[in-house]
Amino acid sequence: MITRRIYRALDARLGTTSIGRTALAKVFPDHWTFMFGEIALYAFMALLLTGTYLTLFFEPSTSETVYDGAYQPLDGSKVSSAFASTVALSFDVRAGLLIRQAHHWAALLFVAAIVVHMLRVFFTGAFRRPRELNWVVGVTMLALALLNGFTGYSMPDDLLSGTGLRIIYSTVLSIPVVGSWIATLAFGGEFPTPETTPRLYISHVLIVPGIFLALISVHLLMIIRQKHSQFPGPGRREHNVVGSRLWPAYAVRSVSLLTGVFAVVFALGGLVQINPVWIYGPFHPAKATSPAQPDWYVAWGDGALRLFPPIEFHVFGHLVPAPFLPAVGVGTVTFLLLYAWPWLERWRTGDKASHQILQRPRESPGRVAVGAYALTFFAVLLVTAADDIIARLTRIPVTGLLRTLQILVLVLPFVVAAVAFFTARALRAGTATSLGELTREDLHAGLSGRSIDRRPDDEPEERIRLWRNPDDTWRWRWYGPGEELSSNEAFLDRQEALDAAKTAFPGVRVEQDEPPEGVVLPPPQHKPGPATKAAAALVWVAMAVLGRRADRRTPSRSEASE
Amino acid sequence: MSGTGPMSGQTGAVRRIRFAFAVTVLGAVGFAVSYGLGGNTQLLGLSLAVAFAGLAYGLAVWGRRLLPTGGFVEQKPELAASPQQRDLLAAATDGPESPLQRRGLVGMLLLGVGAIGVALLFPLRSLLSFRKPDPVTMLRHTAWEAGVRMVTPEGEPVRLTDIQAGTIQIVVPEGHTRDGDAPAFVVRLNPALLDRRPAAGDLGGVVAYSLLCTHAGCPVGLYEQTTGRMLCPCHQSAFDLYRDADPIAGPAARPLPGLPIDVDEAGFLRARGPFTAPPGAGFWSRP
Ligand code: HEM
Ligand code: FES
C-alpha cells in the first residue's frame, strides 16, 4: 500500500517511525474549554491565507495616484495608493472584498479567541508551575495580536484609520522624557509622514507574523513536551493525561473545528460589512471623522482616554500629557501584571509545587476576585468607548454619562470582585456543582470563610490489568469505579508497558500479569468498519456529484493499528 | 445515541456525514460559479461558508459518532533529570576544560559583544531622517509665521468677507496643505459676548485657532454656534471659543492655541505670527 511505502522510505532516511507512533497516540483531554487555543490557531491560519492574498493587490504607499475603477463616487479622484488599492480590492478585484472582509473578521475572532483562551488558563491555574514560560509566551502573543491588528487597521490610509493613527502617535508622544523621540523615530517625523505606511506594512505582513510563527511553534512544542494539564476526574493523576488520542478521533474533531472557523470567517466576510473605507473617505490631516469606534480590542484604550479626567501635570517643569496615564499607563500596568501573575500568585500562596491537575475556579477565590476585577474594569472601558453612541440612543447628556462611568470604573470592579470572591468561597465550601444549587449554609460558609466538614472520599477501588496481544505487543488498562481507561499505545515489551502503567498510576496494583493463554481483551469502543465505509461514501458522493459513474469498488482498507 | 442499536446509529451517522460532504461539494461548485458570474461578495462568502460548514459538520459527526472518544490514558513521566545528571551537565559546561573558566577573557568577550550591540543601535537613528530637525523643534514649529496666507485645504485663499457667522472655515498655510500640525480654523464670533479676549487677538470678532485637539490631536470638527463651542469627535472634549478656547468638557486639559490673524490689502486672510503655543497633543518638552 502506498502509505506503507511512504512510511518505509521516510523511516529509512529519517527514522520517523517511533516519533510518528508516539505522535499519533498522543492523548488530548476532552474538555470544551481546551478548544479556544485551537480556535486562535485556526483564525491565525485564516489570517495568513487571506492576508497573503491581500498583499498581491495592496500598495503600501501614500504617494498620490488617481483612483480609476468601479466605485463611482471616487472614480477619477486623487488619493493615496494605499487608499486607492484598498478601494480597488473592494470593488475592482473579483472576490477581493470577500477576502478583505474575511481578513478583518478573522482578526477580530483571533484576538477574541486569544483572550478567552487566556481566561481559561488563568481561572483554572494552568499557568502554574511548570507552565509559567508558556504563559509568558501567550501574553506576548496577545500583545503582538493587538499590535498587528492595529497596524493592519491603519494601513488603508482612510480617514478613520488616519485618525486612529494620530491618536496612537499622540499617545506615544505623551511618554515622559523619550516620547517625542520614540514617536518621531517610529513615524519617521511629525505625523503624518510618507514613511509611516510602508513601515506599518512591513511590520504587519513580515516582522510580526514571523515572530508569531516562531512563538506559536515554541508554544506548541512546550505543550508537546510537558503534555496537557487536565481537570480532576476518575483516573486523572499528576502523572497521566486522560482523553482521546490524536489519531483518529482528536485529529478529525480538530479539523472539524478548523473548517468551522473558516466557515464562520467566510460567512461574516461575505455577509457582514466591515470597515467600509470608501464611505469614510481618504485621510486628510485637516478633516475630522464623524464619530466612529475602533476595533473592539483597542477600544479599551479609547474608553480609558475618554474616562480619564482632564489632568496634565508637570514633573521638574516638564509636561506629562493627558493620554499618558490612561493609555500608556493602563496598558503597561496590565501587561506587567499579566506577565508577573504566575510569580505574584506563587509569592502570595507559597505554592511552589508542579501541577498537572487543573483547578476549578472556585478553588482559588482570590484569583477569581482578581480576574473578575480586571474583566469588569475593561468592560467599563469598552462601554465608555461607545459613550457617544449610548448618549445619542438614550438621550442622556454625554457629560452626565461620563461622570457615571467615571464612578462605575472605580466602584463596580470592586463590587463584582467581592461578589465573585464570596460566591467562589461558597461553592468551594459546599457540595453545589453549580450556582443554582448553592444552599444557605454554603453561602454562610462563603461569607465567614469557615469550611464545611466533608468526609474524605474513600480510597477508590482500582487496579490495572496487563496483557499480551496475539501480535506480541503489550497493553494495559486501568479499572476504577465506573471508569476504564486504556493505555494509549501498544508497547513492544512487557517491561515497557509495566513502566508506563506504573508511571501513570503510581502505587496501583497491576494484576493478571501475563494470562496463561494470552487472553486478548477487546479494545474499548473501537469500531474501525464504519470509518472505512464513510470514506467510501465520500468518494462515491463526490463522484456522483461530479457526474461520473461511480465504480463501486470498496477502496482498500486503511488499517488503524491498535 | 438514537436508533435501535449501535449499528443503526452508525448508519444514521454515515448518512449525515455523506450528506454534509455532498453539501460541501455543492458549496464549492457554488463558489466557483458565483466567481465566474461576476463574483457577488455575498454569494461568494455564503457558498464558501457553506462548503466549509459541510466539512465541519461532517467531520464533527464522524469524530463523535464513528470514532472512539475518550477512554485513553497516556503516562506523563517526570521531565526533570536526576541531580546527578544535572551536575554532569553543569560540569560539562563549566568544568576545568571549559572556556568559561577563563573569567577575564569571558569578561572581555562580553564587553566586545555588548559594544557591537550598542554600536548596531546607532543606525536605528536613521529612522528619523537627519535632514529633519530634532523632534522637539519639529513639534514646536509649524509653517505658520507672519505673512503666510490662509488657504482652504483645497488651496483656495480665504477673504475676511468669506467668514460668516455660524460656520467655521478650515484653513491651512499656503503651500503646506497636508502638514499634520498646521490645520486651523477661522470663525466669526459676536465680539460683545467675548468672556475673555483671545490671546492671539481678533479682527472684529473674527478669530483663528488650531484645529487640533489638545488631548490626542484629532481635528475638532464640530462647531456649535449657539454655545460657541468646538467639539472633538474623538473623545468628546469641548472648547469654549468665547473663553479663548478653554477646555470645558472631556479629557482635554489645555486650550486650543490661537493663531494671530490679519488681513492684507487684497482682503485675504494671513497669519500675523505663529500659534500662541505648540498645537495638538502635549509632549514632555512642551513649554
Ligand atoms: C497576525 C495577525 C493579523 C492581524 C490581527 C491582522 C489584521 C488586519 C486588519 C484589522 C486589517 C485591516 C483590514 C481592513 O482594511 O479592513 C489588515 C489589513 C491587511 N493585512 Fe492583516 N492581519 C494579520 C496578519 C496578516 C498577514 C500574515 C498578512 C500577509 C501575509 C496580512 C496582510 C494584510 C494586508 C495586505 C492588509 C491591507 C489590505 C486592506 O486593508 O484591505 N495580515 N490586517
Ligand atoms: S482627541 Fe479630542 S478629545 Fe481626545
Cα angle B19, B24, B29 (rounded to 5 degrees) comes to 125
Helix or strand run (H / E) with residue A327:
none
Would you list the DSSP string of A299-323? HHHHHHHHHS-S--EEETTEEE-TT
Q: Judge if ipTM > 0.85.
A: yes
CB A536 within 8 A of CB A554: yes
Report residue A15's pLDDT band, with 50, 70 and 90 as the boundaries.
very high
A295 CA closest ligand 1 atom index: 10
Q: What average pLDDT does range A160-179 have in this prediction?
A: 95
CB atoms within 10 A of CB A98: 29
The ligand whose atoms approach the alpha carbon of A97 most closely is 1
Q: What is the pLDDT confidence band of residue A67, given thresholds at 50, 70 and 90? A: very high
Give the closest residue (by CA) to ligand 1 atom 24: A47
Angle between helices A208-226 and A35-55 (to 10 degrees): 150
pLDDT of residue A382: 96
For the Cβ of B232 lying below 6 angstroms from any atom of ligand 2, the answer is: yes
Q: Of A240, A269, A290, which has the smallest distance from its Cβ to B75's Cβ?
A: A240
Angle among Cα A41, A42, A45 to the nearest 5 degrees reads 95
- Selected residue with higher pLDDT from A375 and B286: A375
How far is ligand 2, taken at its centre, from the CA of residue A86, in Å? 27
Which chain B residues are Cβ-neighbours of A500 within 8 angstroms? 75
Higher pLDDT, A399 or A140: A140
Residue B4 near residue A524 (C-beta atoms within 8 A): no
Q: Taking a C-beta distance cutoff of 8 angstroms, is the pair A312, B279 a contact?
A: no
- The DSSP letter of residue B159 is B
Query: How many Å apart are CA B214 and CA B197, to the nearest integer?
Result: 20
Q: Which residues of B touch A245 (CB under 8 A)?
A: 72
Mean per-residue pLDDT for A212-235? 96
Whether residues B63 and A245 touch (CB distance < 8 A) is answered with no
pLDDT at position A187 is 97
The grid coordinates listed for B81 are 533529570
- Which protein residue's CA is at the shortest distance from atom 11 of ligand 1? A152
For residue B199, pLDDT beyond 90: yes
pLDDT tier for residue A545 given thresholds of 50, 70 and 90: low
Q: B237: CA distance to ligand 2 center in Å?
A: 6
Identify which has the larger pLDDT, A334 or A442: A334
Residue B207 predicted with pLDDT over 50:
yes
pLDDT band at A8 (very low <50, low <70, confident <90, very high): very high
pLDDT tens-place string over residues A411-462? 999 999 999 999 999 999 877 777 777 777 788 877 777 666 555 555 568 8
pLDDT of residue B221: 85
Residue A431, pLDDT score: 74
How much is the pTM?
Answer: 0.91
- Nearest CB among B60, B78, B219 relative to A253 is that of B60
Task: Say whether B45 and A267 touch across the interface (CB within 8 A).
Answer: yes
Q: Which of B47, B52, B62, B72 to mutate to test the interface with A (most CBs of A within 10 A)?
A: B72
Q: Do A185 and B153 touch (CB under 8 A)?
A: no
Inter-chain residue contact A527 with B132, CB threshold 8 Å: no
The CATH number of domain B138-285, selected from 3.90.650.10, 3.40.1710.10, 2.102.10.10, 2.60.15.10: 2.102.10.10
Residue recorded with cell 497633543: B281
CA–CA separation, B37 vs A477, rounded Å?
59
pLDDT tens by residue, A362-383: 999 999 999 999 999 999 999 9
Ligand 2, atom nearest to A170 Cα: 1
What are B203's strand-pairing partners?
A: B206
Ligand 1: does its nearest atom lie under 6 Å from the Cβ of A152? yes
CB A243 to CB B172 under 8 A? no
Residue A551 has pLDDT above 50, yes or no: no
CB pairs under 8 A between A and B: 331
d(CA B62, CA B51): 17
CB contact under 8 A, B74 and A26: yes
Amino acid at B66: L
pLDDT surpasses 50 at A556? no
B43-47 long-range contacts (CB < 8 A, ≥24 apart) are B43/A270, B44/A95, B44/A98, B44/A270, B45/A98, B45/A101, B45/A102, B45/A266, B45/A267, B45/A268, B45/A269, B45/A270, B45/A271, B46/A267, B46/A270, B46/A271
What is the C-alpha separation between B265 and B146, in angstroms, rounded? 15
- Dump pLDDT digits (tens) for B86-138: 999 999 898 888 899 999 999 999 999 999 999 999 999 999 999 999 999 99
Judged by CB atoms closer than 8 Å, whether chains meet at B25 and A541 is answered as: yes
Residue A64 Cα to ligand 2 middle (Å)? 28
Query: pLDDT tens, A68-118?
Result: 999 999 999 999 999 999 999 999 999 999 999 999 999 999 999 999 999
Domain boundaries, chain B: 2-127, 138-285
Q: In what order do the strands lie in the sheet with B150-151?
A: B150-151, B168-173, B184-188, B206-210
DSSP H stretches of helix in A308-397: 330-349, 365-384, 387-394
Can you tell me the mean pLDDT for A170-197? 96
Mean pLDDT of B37-41: 96
Q: Identify residue A109 by its one-letter amino acid code.
A: L
What distance in angstroms lies between residue A332's CA and the mean position of ligand 2's atoms? Answer: 21
CB atoms within 10 A of CB A178: 12
pLDDT at B166: 86
pLDDT in tens, A482-530: 889 999 999 999 999 999 999 999 999 888 655 544 445 544 444 445 5
SS3 content of chain B, % helix, strand, coil (to 5): 40, 15, 45
- CA B258, B259, B263, B269 dihedral sign is negative
Does pLDDT of B48 surpass 70? Answer: yes
What average pLDDT does chain A have?
A: 89
d(CA A66, CA A78): 5
Which residue bears the cell 485645504?
A: B153
The torsion angles phi and psi of A321, rounded to 5 degrees, stand at -70, 160
Per-residue pLDDT averaged across B190-205, rounded?
92
Question: Are A153 and A280 spatial neighbours (Cβ–Cβ below 8 Å)?
Answer: no
CA-B220 nearest atom, ligand 2: 2
Half-sphere exposure of B175 (CA within 13 A, CB side): 7
Q: Is B250 in the pocket of ligand 2 (CB under 6 A)?
A: yes
Amino acid at B91: A
Contact B254 A312 (CB under 8 A): yes
| Across A544-548, B25-29, B251-255, least confident range | A544-548
Using a CB-CB cut-off of 8 Å, the residues of chain A touching B252 are: 310, 322
| Helices assigned H by DSSP within A56-131 | 81-91, 96-123
